[in-house]
Amino acid sequence: MADRAARLVLLAGAAALASGSQGDREPMYRDCVLQCEERNCSGGALKHFRSHQPIYMSLAGWTCPDDCKYECMWVTVGVYLQEGHKVPQFHGKWPFSRFLFFQEPASAMASFLNGLANLVMLCRYRTSVPASSPMYHTCVAFAWVSLNAWFWSTVFHTRDTDLTEKMDYFCASTVILHSVYLCCVSFLEDDSLYLLKESEAKFKLD
């Protein structure tokens, strides 16, 4: 019984460690966030923060505690670099410099451009391939699934929340599943066409 209890304690401790990263486990970071929230995120200080916050930041969902975490993250990174340590991760992610309301500007731009490329190729496909062609609707559906995934990837890298993270991972998984489905359907389509041609050729010989 004691061994079982000890194992449960160890598992709970491991889960607690796994839920965070080195940076956000630092007492300096946690104290900085706590003091920043107490100083800026309540009462008149919160009203002052909201009145001076750019409209695009509030529309993107950036709150006072989020701003405290962002500022304290870079304070902690600065201390790490001054002491000759490597840059730590925070909440499972590497720190990125925010641009306007974009939390990860380069990744958000890359996701947007990938989605734009998918949209351009979808338009070209629909204008050049007849709707009666084999696999037409399956390929169009795959393009829309991919577009949806790149949309949520752009949103996730713009503003990282629990919802956007789950949507990004879920939609990326749908692309993988739909790729497997597309591969199987394509294989069966080619196989059925081959069998049809073989049967037609055999019928003509007879």
Read off the pLDDT of residues 83-136 as tens digits, 9 standing for 90 and up.
888 888 787 777 777 888 788 888 889 999 999 999 999 999 888 888 887 778
Which residue stretches of the chain are H helix?
2-18, 27-40, 43-52, 55-59, 64-82, 105-128, 136-158, 162-205
Whether the predicted model's global pTM rises above the 0.75 cut: no
Per-residue pLDDT at 192 exceeds 60: no
State the Cα–Cα distance between residues 29 and 91, nearest whole angstrom.
12
Quickly state the pLDDT bin for 8 (edges 50, 70, 90): very low
SS3 187: helix
Q: Could you state, in order of their start, the residue ranges of all structural domains in the chain?
A: 22-95, 105-205
State the Cα–Cα distance between residues 22 and 61, nearest whole angstrom.
26
Q: Of 4-13, 16-25, 61-70, 152-161, give the lowest mean pLDDT range.
A: 4-13
**Per-residue pLDDT at 63:** 82
